[in-house]
Amino acid sequence: MNTVEIKIDSKKGKISKELHGHFIEFLGSCIYDGIWVGEESKIPNYNGLRKDVVDALKRLQPPVIRWPGGCYADTYHWRNGIGPGNERPVTYNENFGTYELDSNQFGTHEFIRLCELTGARPWLNINMMTSGTEEMREWMEYCNREDETSLAKERKQNGAEKPFGVELWGIGNEVWAGGGCMTPESYANEYRKYASAFPNFISLENGGKPKTEMKRIASGPDGNKPKERVEWTKQFFQELGKFRRPPLDGYDLHFYNWNLENLEQKETEFDERDWDLVIKGCLELDEVIQEQAALIREGIEALPEEEGFFKTPKPDCDLIIGEWGNWHGAAFSNRPALYQQCTMRDAITTALTLDILHKNCESVKMACVAQTVNVLNSLFLTEGETCILTPNYDVFNMYKVHREGLGLETVGETSDKTFIFASEKEEGIFVNLINADMEKDQEIVIAFSDDVQYVSGQILESEDPHDCNTKEEPDKIREKTGRAPSRRENDFAVRLPKASIQVMHFVRK
């Protein structure tokens, strides 16, 4: 039996709660039906936002939600989504086979309300492709200006007396493809312009400091293209170093676990080989994060010191994974667009991905699952009055305990399908154990470097790894109380059922 030692005095970095973030966009039924049903709907709602989704999302305490895209941000005009609902223009969405009208009933106020109701920090992505710095700046003014400017008054007339205080702003989305087919050089130059055009919201009342700290998030590379992403990051930072530079707070890389070998294959139908490919695919993110974090550090170090009074300090730029999740081939032909059922396979890769983020918490500070509702790696599936929580929801819920904890070092051999992660905070030590084997149970001994006591545990498992939650069986896969491990001194022997995820809680004695 493999033994893994958890070094409880080996504190690694702090796990930013924002690694558990969300991404929503008008694609398929993510927004309309998934989040927004309108006040007149018979589906219970909070001023149009569906109650079942909001309430369940709130239980997860989502740290951040990114909107309006994604690709949709590249053609989104924020003015279309404010003011009385019946006066809002109707536009068209042709991204990823959505092919639907956008009534624009879900706009800035509705998004902010969703964030307020769930306690999330809003992240707005600006339209860099079919709009300009003026439209961006006006959106910022509308959202954040306290003084009585015309835009602030308009916000008040639309029902929001207080500014929204939106700090996180993405500048472009996937600019290497749908966001403008740019080169790293051309994007760096666009970035300079957009990042310089940010209002600063400095207030004399606030001692000359900004009332809202605006964070500029650059569009990073395509995380799925090994050569291209290295070159992209190198060249982006080189270009920034060529002349005076605006601030840069975040660098947003997207990583999808593409499962496109057979576009006809349903996401719920797979054999062990297919299962293993998807598991293996999601693990690549580990290397991507390490590689990109190192390139960002190198890129920043190589930036020349700026001279003079107005010099900008070298950026303290965080790596962000603004979109991640499984993308099965069937999603392209499924309806609504990009809709995917989520089986235990998706739950396992969700857990593995979150653990990769946890392990790399010194290098990556924020990440958003793509997407929260009805699209790709979702936590919710809705259809009219039905709302199902996928097993991915349970993973996010079980993993909440790691937020703001300190990662712990684990030493020892596991099988190549067993994964372990541990963190510690005031409440105790939390250990994740994943068995990514589709067929076989595993056993493992976890040994602690000090005296600890088992408190409790949760497990997510299902008899058949193809299982998923459906309208007929909405709770087929639900987290439940786990079995206590058997103890010998400071060693705990744990059984890991096939395709399962466990979180165990220990305290120091």
Helix axes 108-118, 133-144, angle to 10 degrees: 50
Give the tokens for residue 237: 């930072």
110 near ligand AHR (CB under 6 A) = no
- The answer to whether 221 and 233 have CB atoms below 8 angstroms apart is yes
In the bound complex, what is the minimum distance in angstroms from residue 253's beta carbon to ligand AHR? Answer: 11
174 is catalytic: yes
Q: How far is CA 417 from the centre of its chain?
A: 24
323 near ligand AHR (CB under 6 A) = yes
Q: How far is CA 497 from the centre of its chain?
A: 28
In the bound complex, what is the minimum distance in angstroms from residue 179's beta carbon to ligand AHR? Answer: 8
371 near ligand AHR (CB under 6 A) = yes
- From residue 338, give the alpha-carbon distance in Å to each of 128, 376, 446: 24, 6, 40
Question: Which residues does 293 contact at the CB level (< 8 Å), separation at least 6?
Answer: 319, 360, 363, 364
Catalytic one among 110, 174, 267, 461?
174
Catalytic one among 141, 323, 461, 479?
323
Give the full edge-to-edge strand order of the sheet including 2-14: 480-481, 452-460, 500-508, 428-435, 418-425, 406-412, 2-14, 442-448, 491-496, 486-488
- Residue count at the site for ligand AHR (CB under 6 A)? 11
Stretch of residues binding ligand AHR (CB under 6 A), selected from 65-73, 102-110, 352-360, 444-452 = 65-73
188 near ligand AHR (CB under 6 A) = no
In the bound complex, what is the minimum distance in angstroms from residue 80's beta carbon to ligand AHR? Answer: 18
In the bound complex, what is the minimum distance in angstroms from residue 71's beta carbon to ligand AHR? Answer: 4
- From residue 487, give the alpha-carbon distance in Å to each of 1, 58, 296, 412, 490: 14, 37, 44, 18, 7
318 near ligand AHR (CB under 6 A) = no
427 is catalytic: no
Number of residues assigned to the chain: 509
Q: Which CB atom, from 75 or from 397, has the smaller least distance to ligand AHR? A: 75
423 near ligand AHR (CB under 6 A) = no
Stretch of residues binding ligand AHR (CB under 6 A), selected from 66-74, 80-88, 260-268, 402-410 = 66-74
- From residue 469, give the alpha-carbon distance in Å to each of 45, 145, 397: 23, 44, 16
Q: Which CB atom, from 173 or from 490, has the smaller least distance to ligand AHR? A: 173
Q: Which CB atom, from 323 or from 355, has the smaller least distance to ligand AHR? A: 323
Q: Binding ligand AHR by CB under 6 A: which of 70, 180, 184, 405?
A: 70
In 3-state terms, what secondary structure has residue 367?
strand
173 near ligand AHR (CB under 6 A) = yes
- The answer to whether 392 and 323 have CB atoms below 8 angstroms apart is no
In the bound complex, what is the minimum distance in angstroms from residue 257's beta carbon to ligand AHR? Answer: 12
Residue 19's CB is within 10 A of a number of other CB atoms, namely: 25
In the bound complex, what is the minimum distance in angstroms from residue 327's beta carbon to ligand AHR? Answer: 8
Q: Which CB atom, from 174 or from 467, has the smaller least distance to ligand AHR? A: 174
Give the tokens for residue 23: 């991404």
Q: Which CB atom, from 4 or from 71, has the smaller least distance to ligand AHR? A: 71
Residue 373 carries which DSSP code?
B
To the nearest 10°, the Cα dihedral for 375, 378, 379, 382? 30
Catalytic residues: 174, 323
Interface with ligand AHR (CB under 6 A): 25, 27, 69-71, 173-174, 323, 370-371, 376
